[in-house]
Amino acid sequence: ADVMVPFAVHVDFQSGALTPDPVILRRSHADLAGYFVNESDAPGEDEMYAVHEIRVPATNNNLLSSTTVLQPGTVGGEYFMTKGHFHATRDRAEIYLTLSGQGLLVMALEDGTTQTKEMRPGIVNYVPGHWAHRSVNTGDVPLVFYAVYIGDAGYDYATIADQGFPVIVVEGEDGPEVVPNPRY
């Protein structure tokens, strides 16, 4: 079997930057078109979030990990959020450690059972297998978190792209409100 050489990566807790040499994936407003319930404004090419991933092979003997940097803002009253996904290998678990900012982690089983947990610096969120997960930035600065996942977890975006999560997170008079998704 291949034996890897140990290595270290620096994580900037404010910006989410990884040094050296991450794989960077950027998602613009246009990439999220169709994800928000009210999309009156035409989605532009502005960045909504970026994922910086440490390079290791995506196999079940490795741990993949990445930072996500999710910008603040709203679309039609809904806070900026990640697409959200089930893992393609459904039973693969994941850990999130929030580094800066604040938000909500929305999770759902395929039967519609929902859990919502706070994200803030120092909080570790454990996402067991079978739970779809989406991060929502409810603050006014970027939400930055570090995620660790089994290398062969993969991504299944289609289910969420079709029907969304059972709940959405909207800006209320006294802060964020978790309300039923009218399109679910």
**What is the contact surface with ligand S6P in residues (CB under 6 A)?**
51, 66, 68, 82-85, 94, 133, 135, 147, 149, 153, 155
Q: Judged by CB, which is closer to ligand S6P: 29, or 133?
A: 133
| Nearest distance from C-beta of residue 173 to ligand S6P, angstroms | 29
Residue 126 interacting entry, from ligand S6P, Zn ion, none, C-beta within 5 to 8 Å by type:
none
SS3 label, residue 75: strand
| Nearest distance from C-beta of residue 65 to ligand S6P, angstroms | 8
Residue 78 interacting entry, from ligand S6P, Zn ion, none, C-beta within 5 to 8 Å by type:
none
Residue 51 interacting entry, from ligand S6P, Zn ion, none, C-beta within 5 to 8 Å by type:
ligand S6P
Length in residues, the chain: 184
Q: Judged by CB, which is closer to Zn ion: 11, or 160?
A: 160
What order of strands is seen across the sheet that includes strand 175-180? 74-75, 78-79, 167-172, 175-180
Is residue 136 within 8 Å of 146, Cβ to Cβ? Answer: no
CA distance linking residue 107 with residue 128, whole number of Å: 10
Supply φ then ψ for residue 34, to 5 degrees: 95, -10
Place of tokens 């502005």: 46
Beta strand pairing status for 103-108 and 114-119? antiparallel
Residue ranges in 88-117 that form contacts with Zn ion under rule CB under 5 A: 94
Site residues for Zn ion per CB under 5 A: 94
